[in-house]
Amino acid sequence: METITCQRCHTINIATNSFCKSCDHPLSKSLAKKKGRFLSFLVVTLMVLIIFSIGALIYVDVQHPTYGLRSRLHIVWDVLFEKEWLEKYSNLKKFENNLNNEKETINIEKGKLKNELQILDEKKEKWKKVTDKLDTLQKKLDILDKLKK
Ligand SMILES: [Zn+2]
């Protein structure tokens, strides 16, 4: 028959007992059970977390290839081969310079357009004044016509 020793008084009990027969102390069998349950819970939780993480990694890899694990590993790969890395880096520098130049020309053009817009606004105002004058003149002419009749 399986036995279990009481942790408090060291009496040997039958394994099926929940409490010690001499001191009523709960037998460690239940504690071991709880421990086992906790451990299996921990293992399951860890597995779920690992599976979830792998799923997330694969998801990002598929949905956003540029930010995915594969491209990251590719970058690491390039760093390992210094020559390629330097070449790529200089290309990036060139690319950055080109972009900066383009930005500057766009800004200059923007400034020019802004000036033109200002001129157009001024012309619009003049146009409005002229048409207003024309309107009042036309009204005066209409009145004159009526007076003639
Ligand atoms: Zn006991």
Tens digit of pLDDT for each residue in 86-139? 777 788 888 999 999 999 999 999 999 999 999 999 999 999 999 999 999 999
- Full-model pTM: 0.33
Please count the other Cβ atoms lying within 10 Å of the Cβ belonging to residue 10.
Answer: 10
Q: How far is CA 139 from CA 125, 127, 135, 148, in A?
A: 21, 18, 6, 14
For residue 21, give every residue at least 6 positions away whose Cβ sits within 8 Å of its Cβ, in sequence order, or none.
Answer: 11, 13
Distance, CA of 38 to CA of 35 (rounded, Å): 5
Instruction: Enumerate residues with CB within 5 Å of ligand 1 (an ion).
Output: 6, 8-9, 11, 20, 22-23, 25
Residue 5 CA to ligand 1 center (angstroms) comes to: 8
